[in-house]
Amino acid sequence: MGTAILIGNGINRLNNAEASWTHVLKTMSAGNSTPRELEFVKHKPFALLYEEILLTTASAEKHFDEMRVKTQIANLVKALKGNDFHHRVMSCDARHILTTNYDYNLEKATRQQFVQKNLQSETKYSIFRRYGVAKKFVWHIHGEVDAPWTLTLGCDQYVGYLQKLRGYATAERTGQRGSPFKRGEMDFDARGNFIYSWLDVFLRDDVHIIGLGLDFTEIDLWWVLTYKGRLKARGWGVGRTYFHDWHLDDVGDVGQAKRSLLTSLGVEVKPGVCDSGFDSTYDQFLADEFGV
**pLDDT of res. 36:** 53
- Averaged pLDDT, 223-236: 97
- Averaged pLDDT, 94-99: 97
- CATH number, domain of 215, equals 3.40.50
70 is in which domain, residue-wise? 19-75
Q: Do 151 and 283 reside in the same domain of the chain? A: yes
**pLDDT of res. 58:** 75
Q: Do 182 and 218 reside in the same domain of the chain? A: yes
Mean pLDDT (the chain, rounded): 88
Q: Rounded to 5 degrees, what are φ and ψ at 67?
A: -60, -35
- The sign one gets for the Cα dihedral 151, 8, 134, 104 is positive
Nearest to 81 by CA among 105, 48, 45, 115: 105
Instruction: Please state, in angstroms and rounded to a whole number, the distance separating the CA atoms of residues 240 and 228.
Output: 9
For the chain, the distance separating the N- and C-terminal CA atoms, rounded to the nearest angstrom, is 21
Domains in the chain, number: 2
The contacts of residue 241 (CB under 8 Å, 6+ apart) are: 206, 207, 209, 225, 228, 266, 267, 268
**pLDDT of res. 90:** 96
Q: Do 57 and 88 reside in the same domain of the chain? A: no
**207: enclosing H helix or E strand:** strand 206-210
- Averaged pLDDT, 208-231: 95
**pLDDT of res. 28:** 66
Which residue, of 32, 47, 75, is where some domain finishes?
75
Say if CB 238 and CB 169 are below 8 A apart.
no
3-state helix, strand and coil shares in percent for the chain, rounded to the nearest 5: 45, 15, 40
Q: Do 154 and 35 reside in the same domain of the chain? A: no
- Averaged pLDDT, 120-139: 95
**Predicted structure pTM score:** 0.92
Q: Do 163 and 250 reside in the same domain of the chain? A: yes
Q: What is the dihedral of CA 48, 54, 60, 62, to 10 degrees?
A: -130
Q: Rounded to 5 degrees, what are φ and ψ at 5?
A: -125, 135
Q: Which residue type is seen at 94?
A: A
Q: Do 66 and 88 reside in the same domain of the chain? A: no
Say if CB 146 and CB 168 are below 8 A apart.
no
Q: Do 206 and 274 reside in the same domain of the chain? A: yes
Determine what percent of the chain is predicted with pLDDT higher than 70.
89
Q: Do 64 and 137 reside in the same domain of the chain? A: no
Q: Do 138 and 24 reside in the same domain of the chain? A: no
The region of weakest confidence among 49-63, 78-92, 213-227, 258-272 is: 49-63
The region of weakest confidence among 37-41, 56-60, 142-146, 150-154 is: 37-41
| Alpha helix ranges (H) inside the chain | 10-13, 21-30, 46-61, 66-78, 84-90, 105-109, 155-170, 198-204, 219-233, 252-264, 278-290
Q: What is the pLDDT of residues 157-182, one digit of tens each?
A: 999 999 999 999 988 766 566 889 98
Taking 70 as the threshold, does the pLDDT of residue 29 lie above it?
no
Say if CB 142 and CB 6 are below 8 A apart.
no
Give 101 or 21, the one with higher predicted confidence: 101
Determine what percent of the chain is predicted with pLDDT higher than 90.
56
**pLDDT of res. 43:** 78
Select, from the ranges 66-80, 83-97, 164-178, the one with the highest average predicted confidence (pLDDT).
83-97
